[in-house]
Amino acid sequence: MCTIMGYCGKGGSTEEVAEVLKATVSRGPDDERIIELKDGVLGFQRLSIMGLTPEGMQPFELDGNYVVCNGEIYGFKTLRDELKAKGYSFKSDSDCEILLPLYKEYGTDMFAMLDAEFACVLYDGKNGEFIAARDPIGIRPLYYGKSDSGAMVFASEPKNLVKLCKKIVPFPPGHYYKDGEFHCYCDITAVDKVIHDDLDTVCKNIHDKLVAGVKKRLDADAKVGFLLSGGLDSSLVCAIAQRESDKPIRTFAIGMNTDAIDLKYAKQVADYIGSEHTEVIITKDDVIAALEDVIHLLGTFDITTIRASMGMYLLCKAIHEQTDIRVLLTGEISDELFGYKYTDFAPSAEAFQQESVKRVHELHMYDVLRADRCISVNSLEARVPFGDLDFVKYVMAVDPEMKLNKYNKGKYLLRHAFEGDYLPHDILYREKAAFSDAVGHSMVDYLKEYAENYYSDEEFELDCTKYAHAKPFTKESLLYREIFDKYYHGNCEMIVDFWMPNKEWEGCNVNDPSARVLSNYGESGK
């Protein structure tokens, strides 16, 4: 990961930008550069992943244009060769160096050309204007606000903006900002034509596109590792990666010291694929001690995101402290495409698709935010194969009737696509457990207990009345909200609401986001 920042207008200074960048040093610990332009300031903190030489340091400059980018551009070498044929030369092996030549050739049309996870701020010196953009899913973070002087300010994290802007807003994924307006260049959920192919054809395409998504994310000049929960999604990523590697990949799993559900499954997968596997064990004290830090680094009050971040943050912390790995592949974004436990209750195929569209649009506030912050705060980079643009577009276009759970098994299309010898059959067809539960049911129970003891019933009732947006509804949610407000006061609308199952569906009107409270949880997490 890296940190980017653009102070777009008069009134900013390199000193001011340097001060607010201190909040994200761990995101880009290798180098920092801040440059003052005629019309503003650009800042960059580097985590070296591609093009490790000093020539890969940003901002890049070309003919008076400048850019800072936090991103991975897949297939950049092909684009670079095409640009070389047009007469451009390159000083580094950084994938992001192609952005300014692309802008010279194609202008803002270039954003739709990128197969990438990225956020960038570009300064057009000829026109004296700033342009910003973000990938279609929002895997790379970007936020904005207005300074006291009225200048637009962009930054990777809200932590960079709290001292500069009263109101902080997430940059909409799949958009670019130009001339004071946001323009949608890609709605990743839009379906031009529904795919009505037979089951085997659909599953073959799912297989091939996910394999391609994993393969392209193995390309790095820094060392790569894998988060392995023992659930379907991360296990598939690891199994595919091991097939594509000529030596054992490194996998990492985490669990509570008392009742970790998934550690045994993660080890089973690791033994089966032959990875070099590491387990990290955590305790109640580890969880409670990390809670405030986790909420601060996340910039959210959402219950699900915070619960699921506890294990992920502590696992990534151990990887950072104990290894030289710099890139981690993860299993996020599968649920939004193929369904959760609660989408078994979808009343129709149309309702399933609408829910999937909603969840993909909101990913940048929940699971994707969790993966970015937990990994980047530990000076690591996240790569998300299930977020591959070609893969997401394809699965979104598959006839939703096929994605409904009509097979007595959730995510059947994904499971069927990888039947064979990728994974043990009982792992491939194991019921899903929520990550926060799979670390150990006790972890969530400890958090609830801590919150219950933090407030009396009277304090809870009174304190909840302070909130209008996303009003807390349990002592746990109130505790998270109050810690959030300590660091991001007045910016609760960065998160649209609490992540919860669709309460309008029969069987989903629950008061806790854990799948444990659903009637169909069954064998999940055993």
Binding-site residue positions for ATP: 227, 254
Taking a C-beta distance cutoff of 8 angstroms, is the pair 499, 304 a contact? Answer: yes
Please give the DSSP secondary-structure letter assigned to residue 515: G
Give the separation between CA 415 and CA 231, rounded to whole angstroms: 12
Binding positions for L-glutamine? 95
Would you give the distance in Å from CA 266 to the centre of its chain? Answer: 22
Give the separation between CA 487 and CA 299, rounded to whole angstroms: 8
Q: Which of 2, 96, 203, 316 is catalytic?
A: 2
Closest CA to 137 of 395, 435, 384, 494: 384
Q: Which residue has the tokens 């204007």?
A: 129
2: annotated active-site residue: yes
Closest CA to 17 of 143, 157, 160: 160
How many residues are recorded in the chain?
526
Alpha-carbon distance values, 164 to 141, 293, 296 (Å): 18, 22, 17
Radius of gyration (Cα) for the chain, nearest Å?
22
Tokens of 407: 């097979």
Backbone torsions φ then ψ of 255, nearest 5 degrees: -160, 160
Give the separation between CA 362 and CA 440, rounded to whole angstroms: 27
Please give the DSSP secondary-structure letter assigned to residue 364: G
DSSP string across 206-256: HHHHHHHHHHHTT--SS-EEEE--SSHHHHHHHHHHHHH-SS--EEEEEEE
Give the separation between CA 99 and CA 79, rounded to whole angstroms: 10
Exposed e or buried b for every residue in 296-317, given b needs 16+ CB within 10 A?
A: bbbbbbbbbbbbbbbbbbbbbb
Binding positions? 95, 227, 254
Tokens of 195: 């795919």
List of residues 6+ apart from 459 with CB closer than 8 A: none
Tokens of 435: 């990550």
Taking a C-beta distance cutoff of 8 angstroms, is the pair 472, 478 a contact? Answer: yes
Please give the DSSP secondary-structure letter assigned to residue 148: T
Give the separation between CA 446 and CA 296, rounded to whole angstroms: 20
Residues annotated as catalytic are 2
